[in-house]
Amino acid sequence: MIKLNVNGKPHQLDVAPDTPLLWALRDTLQMTGTKYGCGQALCGACTVHVDGTPMRACTTPVSAVVGRKITTIEAIDANHVGKVVQEAWRKLDVVQCGYCQSGQIMSAVALLSQNRKPSDADIDDAMSGNLCRCATYVRVRAAIHEAAKALA
């Protein structure tokens, strides 16, 4: 049995230690907000926070996160920064198809939790591992700036 702390709740999972966290979340815990994109940690759709740091769930084995705090998009609005980022996303109508957006939001929250006044270069650096096939990058950057203003 693997014991995980997900969104502040303890879970015991009957999965192999090398099971990717993504599949433990989606298939075992039925938390489908975290998306499968590439399976190689290249697109960012599967981004979650582990102890506050963005991590790609598709390549992270559950054994690597035992005893650590995992936060998924399902609970990001419990975090003040998460709530503000989601409000900025809605206000600026960032989402098109939406598939990448949970990963985008998780990365944006991690950035703004560490840096409340990010420059465009800071944003580009923090978001560089998140791909969007609809090319909403300009709106993502604008929403991060909007959220930063609201957090100031």
Per-residue model confidence (pLDDT) at position 128: 94
Q: Cβ contacts of residue 107 below 8 Å, gap of 6+?
A: 44, 47, 54, 126, 127, 129, 130
**Boundaries of CATH 3.10.20.30 in the chain?**
2-75
| pLDDT per position as a tens digit, 79-106 | 999 999 999 999 999 999 989 999 999 9
Please tell me the predicted confidence (pLDDT) of residue 117: 97
Q: What is the pLDDT of residue 118?
A: 98
Q: Provide the token pair at 46.
A: 């599967």
Class of domain 76-151: mainly alpha
Q: Are 76 and 86 spatial neighbours (Cβ–Cβ below 8 Å)?
A: yes
At residue 105, the pLDDT reads 98
From the number of C-beta atoms within 10 Å of its C-beta (0-12, 13-18, 19+), residue 78 rates as exposed
Are the C-beta atoms of residues 140 and 120 closer than 8 Å to each other? no
Q: What is the C-alpha to C-alpha distance for residues 61 and 139, in angstroms, rounded to an integer?
A: 33
**pLDDT at 143 (0 to 100):** 98
Cβ contact 25:48 at 8 Å: yes
AA identity, residue 34: T
| Alpha carbons 11 and 26: distance in angstroms, whole number | 13
Q: How confident is the model at residue 107 (pLDDT cuts 50, 70, 90)?
A: very high
Question: What does the pLDDT look like over 43-79, one tens digit per residue?
Answer: 999 999 999 999 999 999 999 999 999 999 999 999 9
Q: Compute the C-alpha angle 73/42/72, nearest 5°.
A: 10
What is the CATH architecture of 2-75? Roll (3.10)
CATH 1.10.150.120 domain extents, the chain: 76-151
